[in-house]
A = this chain, B = another copy of it.
């Protein structure tokens, strides 16, 4: 069985394992205050053209989301996001467990718009009983979204402007950011300029684990290490994360390996479309969502693990196929062949 069901089925990029082995017996300070973390932070600040940004390494996406959101919001505030946002549906209520409501907005392809945010805020304060309603306190988006889609630079700029107008910090979940950078027109410096906080996902983009949280807004930088510690995210051997991001941001490794995965994914998409398969959503990144018939699904699942996303009323299935930095060329070819040979319906 060859797995294309998600992008975290292997370990780490070999360059990372090598770096871990090479540095293994170095003695360093703990809790992220070692030289590797410091260099990784410097590399990330440089890549973001954000010399004043604070950079912190956290273990995973849920932890990064809950820590950032809890650090920003006051108790009576909630976080606006797409109803399909990861924090709203797939984190076992981590945000609520820190006391805050997730304010889900209707989405289009997993995205929300600047106009929606503006309307929500205006409506909130126009309500005569507004103090009886959770106050919108920040905006969360994911990029790529849970559907693999991307904000364009124009869309992100508009969101950023609205957020600044209403003094709502804008937080971007970049658990799969590498694939988004490779596929879209938004760059790291754009993110540092337009977002207040965002993170650069490592776990799904080549690392064993780890997310680099970039706090661009000076007002949100204070005391963040307390929050990391309180939420269980401060590793004694913080170097484990620093060494990995040091490797990922050396010689453009992060961008190279995610770009490869995106081009692989587009080949899969093309192969599916050439067989007449409809895509549930038009994703330009490493996650593809074909709609397969029962027979097509069965055919592919004989040799490949895919994710089942949803069953449609007509009996067909929305499946997820992921490539990653780790996709082996021979496995990709096998998948393309199988798609070529699968039943027409």
Seen from chain A, the residues whose Cβ lies within 8 Å of a Cβ on chain B are 1-3, 6, 8-12, 14, 17, 20-21, 23-30, 59-63, 66-67, 70-71, 74-76, 78, 89-94, 96-102, 128-129, 131-135, 203-204, 208-209, 223, 225-227, 229-237, 239-240, 305, 308, 326, 328
Contacts and interface: CB of A to CB of B under 8 A. Distances in A.
Contacts of A92: 76, 131-135, 226, 229-230
Query: Which 7 pairs from chain A and chain B are nearest by CB?
Result: A63-B232, A76-B226, A11-B24, A92-B230, A93-B134, A8-B236, A93-B101
9 contacts: A17-B24, A71-B75, A78-B96, A92-B133, A94-B230, A97-B230, A208-B237, A209-B237, A231-B232
A225 B96 contact: no
A132 B91 contact: yes
Nearest to A225: B131
A210 B56 CA distance: 20
B10 A236 contact: no
B10 A24 contact: yes
Contacts of A235: 59-60, 203, 209
A334 to B, nearest CB: 13
B131 A229 contact: yes
Contacts of A74: 71, 223
Nearest to A236: B8
B204 A236 contact: yes
Nearest to A3: B27
A212 B87 CA distance: 27
B11 A237 contact: yes
A203 B89 CA distance: 31
A97 B23 CA distance: 36
Given A93-B230, A135-B223, A208-B240, 4 more contacts: A76-B230, A89-B133, A131-B223, A131-B229
Contacts of A14: 24
B12 A67 contact: no
A240 B328 CA distance: 21
B78 A93 contact: yes
Contacts of A231: 94, 97, 231-232
Given A96-B99, A232-B233, A240-B208, A26 B6 contact: no
Given A236-B60, A239-B11, A96 B96 contact: yes
